[in-house]
Amino acid sequence: DSLAAPDRSRLLTLLAEFIAIPTVSSDPACVQDMQRGAVWIARQLEEQLGCTVRVSGRCIVARCGWDDQKPLVVLYSHYDVVAPGQGWSTDPWHLTAADGYLYGRGVVDNKGPLLAQIFAVRRLLRRRAQHIRAFEDDGEGEYMLCLQAEQGKEETSPPRVETPARPGEEGCPVNVLFLVDGGEEVGDVEGVRNAIREAREDGWLRGQISGILVNNSSWIDDERPCI
């Protein structure tokens, strides 16, 4: 179902802020904007989800949940964009709504989907449920990842530190790791490899990885998310 009105309004406000940062990874003139974009994303992951966040080069790595007994789900996305080019009828760095669509550089590729990831995890973490379902078939061949905890409780813990579970933490069946790439549009594979290697060495990938979700690909239609 759709987001509640307050969450929808908040998401659109943040998307407008995000679009306004010209994170063009191929343009040397945008180096400071790339850094500003990375800081902005790190802050959202901390404020919206209570994640523990680290920056590795142009990549941001954030983890929500540190229970070694639970599986790990990795969410990949990227925040860099290509230069707008010709043909725009609106300001590409200003979020514009027209005819039921949102226009702005990165709305589809990939700032909008990144915020959708954050808000999806945020919503699921805030849900109260008596029964936990993880990757459960809904009867129509579709699988849903239910990431549920006590209402209003958000979890975070520094790496390599064992802490007792807090109220609500027991109800969350998985840990989540965000890998947010800042060099996807320029093919900076080595930057992602370095970020993953550093994260693994420091214990950020501990736990069995049960799934990797990538939401950066061709769109199927206007209704189904790109995963």
- In this predicted model, what pLDDT tens digit does every residue of 79-117 receive, in sequence order? 999 999 999 999 999 999 999 899 999 999 999 999 999
User: Bigger pLDDT: 26 or 8?
Assistant: 26
Which H/E stretch holds residue 135?
Answer: strand 134-137
CA distances from residue 172 to 1, 39, 127, 158, 224 in whole angstroms, order as listed: 21, 27, 10, 18, 25
Residue 110, preceding peptide bond in cis (omega within 30° of 0): yes
Highest mean pLDDT among 43-47, 133-137, 153-157: 43-47
The CA distance from 11 to 133, in Å, is: 26
CA separation for the pair 226, 95 (Å, rounded):
21
pLDDT of 164 above 90: no
Scan for tokens 């725009």, then name that residue: 88
Residue 145 scores a pLDDT above 50: no
Q: Which whole-number Å values give the CA distances from 214 to 20, 73, 177, 203, in the listed order?
A: 24, 11, 12, 22
pLDDT of residue 220: 73
Give the whole-angstrom CA distance, residue 78 versus residue 23: 10
How do 143-145 and 134-137 pair as beta strands?
antiparallel
Regarding pTM above 0.95, the answer is: no
